Amino acid sequence: MHVLLVGDGCSLARTLQRAGHQVTVAASAAEARAHVEVGRVEVIVLGGVDAPADSLRVFAELRRAELCPPVLLLVEQDGVQTRIAGLDAGADDCVARSCSFEEVLARLRALVRRAAAPGTPPAASRGDGGGRARRG
């Protein structure tokens, strides 16, 4: 799996690489956009950035252009409202930095699996706010 890690995540990058994944690190949303536009990224981990809402806005623009892979947002605080804000801002999934590495890997695999499913429309066109299940 090719992971684009946006923000301060050197230890996570090393851990992902040791687990056999290709990792590209971007310091800013603009740098991340350049990597995404090349098209070799399967999933984005957004964490440790000063302005996650600004970064998510960049990824929302990429989604509208059908260029953006799924986004996992790592949040500093493990509170329901923080996770809800991240999901509402455009992340496909949101988890606290304090969670286990195994859980982060499982969530990344799930995001990549859903994105690769045949016939799955891009997140922007699903009408469900980025891949979350809707209840009828």
Across all residues in the chain, what is the average pLDDT?
76
30, 68 contact by CB (below 8 A): no
Least confident window among 19-23, 29-33, 78-82, 119-123: 119-123
pLDDT value of residue 33: 81
Distance between CA atoms of residues 105 and 17, nearest Å: 12
Nearest Cα to 93, choosing from 109, 107, 114, 105? 107
| Domains delineated in the chain | 2-126 (3.40.50.2300)
Can you tell me whether residue 72 is helix, strand or coil? strand
Summarize the confidence of residues 20-27 as an average pLDDT. 90
Q: Is 67 helix (H, G, I), strand (E, B) or coil?
A: coil
Question: Residue 49 above 70 pLDDT?
Answer: no
Asked if 63 and 24 count as a contact pair (C-beta separation under 8 A), the reply is no
Q: Tell me the average pLDDT across 99-119.
A: 87
pLDDT of amino acid 17: 92
Pairing of strands 43-46, 71-75: parallel
Q: Which of 32-36, 104-108, 118-122, 124-128 has the lowest mean pLDDT?
A: 124-128
pLDDT at 48: 62
How is residue 77 written in tokens? 């605080």
Are 69 and 43 a contacting pair, CB within 8 Å? Answer: yes
